[in-house]
Amino acid sequence: MKLTSGVEQATCIIVLLATQDSRSPLASDHISARLDVSPSYLKKIMRKLVVKGLVISVPGNNGGFSLAKSPEQITGLEIIEAMEGEISIFSDNGLLTKAFEDGIHASQGVEVLNNIFKGANDVLKDYFSKFTVADLLKKSMSLSELPSLDWNNTSLKDFLKKEMKENADD
Amino acid sequence: MKLTSGVEQATCIIVLLATQDSRSPLASDHISARLDVSPSYLKKIMRKLVVKGLVISVPGNNGGFSLAKSPEQITGLEIIEAMEGEISIFSDNGLLTKAFEDGIHASQGVEVLNNIFKGANDVLKDYFSKFTVADLLKKSMSLSELPSLDWNNTSLKDFLKKEMKENADD
DNA sequence: GATGGCCTACTCGGATAATGCATGTCCGAGTATCAGCGG
DNA sequence: CCGCTGATACTCGGACATGCATTATCCGAGTAGGCCATC
């Protein structure tokens, strides 16, 4: 229940690239020196960001990395998923079905639990997709611009309701 | 960004103890056989649950484990925190301050990021504290009983607003 | 027959290895630059 | 003087070790229950 330290590093990299307003790409060694982290490991992280499409790499002399999008278009969720893959906090080994083997409570409990964690995933995705790198760069942020405070959004609520509705039909 | 498989196992243990309505304690070997998991490792998990105060252990002959509370009083958050300690998804090594060293954006960005992840922690805590083991046991769950659908709760919102207000005063 | 003590078998409990994944490192593949040469 | 060609130095890129946390295991400490000797 902890996201890897690579996420922190990746975030810093993106921020650093965003604050460098020069259009020339930044070499990975330059970045690692700036952040005072291992050059080798940083390259590994850079690669993940490239694969995810957040930054672009320029090979050859005077090469380096640049942002692939504007800071407004890079969400926290993208950074996290670039490093860790899709968010899926619950490791389901189907163990719960055995706990319910007595049959009294059928598989309803399993469904409920799965929905709960599925919901947790969506909560996190929703949350992190709301803030962008640009939010971090604003010098003074007004309250209305605060990331992810739209608690009245109903997408998740509807999703769960639908799920449960189907179960209720049994 | 994944909670350990121990959480799944712990959840199953609690469910199993809850469904056993006999008042006599259940031996750990019995539980491990029932769930088909390693007896040794299960004991380690049991110990964590005991320390957290979710189950009580009875030593000696015919001993075993029983729930320390009623299923209604055991929340998902308690189970998770029993296994993994307090939820803290972001590993802060203070790296971001270096990314902002250019001074242009001051430490405002650091504050924003910390608030975001602090908020994520609270969202998860709030979410998991809303569902109880009893929710899993209900044979047919009505929509109004769904755990954690109170999206209009304002505790987190207020928290973040307060935080940002203080920053805005600078 | 009742009672006290002892012994045993069973339980949990903590110290001790093995595994898996994130972390960290190294060397090879590829390309833009630049110098030199020829036209 | 201009254009081509080759070497070169720099970049990224992926294969290879290391460390730590979770997972898994074993043996020891402690207790409730039963058995037996004694009163």
SS3 B13: helix
Q: Which residues of A42-67 are buried (b: 16+ CB within 10 A; e: fewer)?
A: beebbebbeebebbebeeeeeebbbb
Each residue of B114-165: pLDDT tens digit? 889 999 999 999 999 999 999 888 754 444 444 433 343 434 444 444 444 4
Taking Cα atoms as reference points, which of A161, A153, A123, A117 lies closest to residue B122? A123
Among the partner-chain residues A3, A90, A153, the one whose CB lies closest to the CB of B89 is A3
Round and report the angstrom distance from CA (A109) to C1' (D17).
45
Residue B140, exposed/middle/buried by CB under 10 A (0-12, 13-18, 19+)? exposed
Each residue of A76-103: pLDDT tens digit? 999 999 999 999 999 999 898 888 876 5
User: For residue A96, what is the enclosing H or E element?
Assistant: helix A95-99
Q: Which residues of B56-77 are buried (b: 16+ CB within 10 A; e: fewer)?
A: ebeeeeeebbebbbebeebbbb
- Residue A91 to residue B3, Cβ atoms within 8 A: yes
Mean pLDDT, residues A107-123: 88
In angstroms, what separates the C-alpha of B38 from chain A's closest C-alpha? Answer: 13
Model pLDDT, residue A158: 47
Model pLDDT, residue B163: 43
User: CA–CA distance from A67 to each of A18, A90, A147 (Å)?
Assistant: 7, 32, 21
pLDDT class for B99, splitting at 50, 70, 90? confident
Nucleotide nearest to B56 (CA to C1'): C12
**B75 touches A at CB < 8 Å:** no
pLDDT class for B107, splitting at 50, 70, 90? low
Model pLDDT, residue A163: 44
- Lookup: tokens for A63: 């090469």
Round and report the angstrom distance from CA (B3) to C1' (C27).
36
CA–CA gap between residue B54 and residue B58 (Å, rounded): 14
Mean pLDDT, residues A147-151: 40
Q: Which residues, 6 or more positions from B100, have their beta carbon under 8 angstroms from its beta carbon?
A: A15, A19, B106, B107, B109, B110
User: CA–CA distance from A88 to each of A53, A83, B111 (Å)?
Assistant: 21, 13, 27
In angstroms, what separates the C-alpha of A23 from chain B's closest C-alpha? Answer: 17
Query: For B152, what's the count of Cα atoms within 13 Å in the CB-facing half-sphere?
Result: 0
Q: Which residues of B2-23 are buried (b: 16+ CB within 10 A; e: fewer)?
A: ebebbbbbbbbbbbbbbbbeee
Model pLDDT, residue B155: 42
- Residue A2 to residue B127, Cβ atoms within 8 A: no
Model pLDDT, residue B147: 42
Of the residues A1, A67, A84, A148, the best mutation for testing chain B's interface (the one with the most B CB atoms within 10 Å of its CB) is A1
Do A132 and B111 contact (CB within 8 A), yes or no? no
Interface list for A 4-33 with B (CB within 8 A): 4-5, 7-9, 11-13, 15-16, 19
**B131 touches A at CB < 8 Å:** yes
Checking if the pLDDT of B166 tops 50, the result is: no
Among the partner-chain residues B1, B92, B96, the one whose CB lies closest to the CB of A89 is B1
Phi then psi dihedrals of residue B122, to 5 deg: -65, -35
Instruction: Tell me how long chain B is.
Output: 170
Taking Cα atoms as reference points, which of A107, A120, A119 lies closest to residue B137? A107
Round and report the angstrom distance from CA (B138) to C1' (D13).
54
CB atoms within 10 A of CB A80: 24
Residue of A nearest to B106 (CA): A139
Each residue of B25-69: pLDDT tens digit? 999 999 999 999 999 999 999 999 999 999 999 999 989 999 999
Round and report the angstrom distance from CA (A3) to C1' (C15).
30
- Lookup: tokens for B31: 């539980």
Task: Give helix then strand counts, H and E, for chain B.
Answer: 8, 2
Model pLDDT, residue B19: 87
Among the partner-chain residues B13, B137, B149, the one whose CB lies closest to the CB of A160 is B149
